[in-house]
């Protein structure tokens, strides 16, 4: 990381950091490695998306009914998260199309750059046969601790910034209604010193949706002045025969919240 900072000082450096947990530790040196790498991350990374081993183990057990998760199970879940975060970089879109946008939207101060990652729905193929969750349901699930990649409770903290990345069969009208419902919840609070909060964006992969985006993105920005929303019309892709079910729609939420302090 230090070498990258020297050689590419003007480039945005985003990191996916997988942290160990005492309950599922495989080596006695894991805590030392975590401390040393975190020190480097503070100084030389612009935005670090955190993943906690304990959290993703619990998700595999609880949501996917995997009694003894393997590294393959964990990596496929992490891969789905990375795919959702980078979808707007890999497909055409007006906003959030480069790494700098994530840093700008989610990091109010340089050292506070550890966004909390949440993904929904995380369900097994068996459950997907009779469960097709709506936009409102997957949005609400993103604010629940059970779908987070880090063990902490955001209801005990306040949000500084948030970015919601939708994929699949999602239309702006449904997103608007889901966001409006979230605003009414008393358990979801935002700091009063960060005026940017959230920013609106759209991503698309066809000419039809490019035209739709051009006509409507300006209105979306005014509606979601407190939230960052990305919509990609390609549904999530899963590994054939894997643990995750193929669903019509999904959302990945990146949020900078004071509750992340619990993880440290």
Lowest mean pLDDT among 14-18, 92-96, 132-136, 188-192: 92-96
Q: Which residues are catalytic?
A: 101
Q: Which residue has the higher pLDDT, 134 or 202?
A: 134
Residues 137-157 pLDDT 10s:
999 999 888 899 998 888 888
Give the model's pLDDT for residue 159.
Answer: 86
The answer, yes or no, to whether residue 227 has pLDDT greater than 90, is no
Give the model's pLDDT for residue 200.
Answer: 40
> Residue 92's pLDDT band (boundaries 50, 70, 90)?
low
> Residue 78's pLDDT band (boundaries 50, 70, 90)?
very high
Q: Could you tell me the two tokens for 232?
A: 């990609």
Burial of 44 (0-12, 13-18, 19+ CB in 10 A): middle
26-35, 52-61, 106-115, 193-202 — most confident range:
52-61
Give the model's pLDDT for residue 23.
Answer: 66
Residue 12 to residues 49, 182, 229, Cα–Cα distance (Å) = 14, 31, 21
Give the model's pLDDT for residue 198.
Answer: 44
The residue whose two tokens read 């759209």 is 202
Mean pLDDT within 187-199? 64
Cα 187–Cα 167–Cα 248 angle in degrees, nearest 5: 100
Residue 167 bridge partners (DSSP): 232, 250
Domains of the chain from N-terminus onward: 2-263 (3.40.50.1440)
């Amino acid at each position: 990381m230090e070498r990258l900072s020297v050689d590419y000082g003007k480039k945005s450096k985003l990191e996916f950091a997988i942290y160990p947990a005492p309950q599922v530790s495989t080596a006695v040196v894991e805590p030392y490695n975590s401390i040393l790498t975190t020190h480097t991350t503070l100084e030389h990374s612009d935005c670090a998306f955190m993943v906690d081993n304990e959290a993703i183990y619990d998700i595999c057990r609880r949501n996917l009914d995997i009694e003894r998760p393997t590294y393959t199970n964990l990596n496929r879940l992490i891969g789905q998260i990375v795919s959702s975060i980078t979808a707007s970089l890999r497909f055409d879109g007006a906003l959030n199309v480069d790494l700098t946008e994530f840093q700008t939207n989610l990091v109010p101060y340089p050292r506070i750059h550890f966004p909390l990652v949440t993904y929904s729905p995380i369900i097994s193929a068996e459950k997907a046969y009779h469960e097709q969750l709506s936009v409102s349901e997957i949005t609400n699930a993103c604010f629940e601790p059970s779908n987070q990649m880090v063990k902490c409770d955001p209801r005990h903290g306040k949000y500084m910034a948030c970015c919601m990345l939708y994929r699949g069969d999602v239309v702006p009208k449904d997103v608007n209604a889901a966001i409006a419902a979230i605003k009414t919840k008393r358990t979801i609070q935002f700091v009063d010193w960060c005026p940017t909060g959230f920013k609106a964006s759209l991503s698309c992969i066809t000419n039809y949706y490019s035209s739709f985006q051009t006509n409507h993105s300006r209105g979306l920005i005014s509606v979601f002045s407190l939230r960052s929303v990305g919509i990609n019309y390609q549904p999530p892709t899963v590994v054939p025969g894997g643990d995750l079910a193929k669903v019509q729609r999904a959302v990945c939420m990146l949020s900078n919240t004071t509750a992340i302090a619990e993880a440290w």
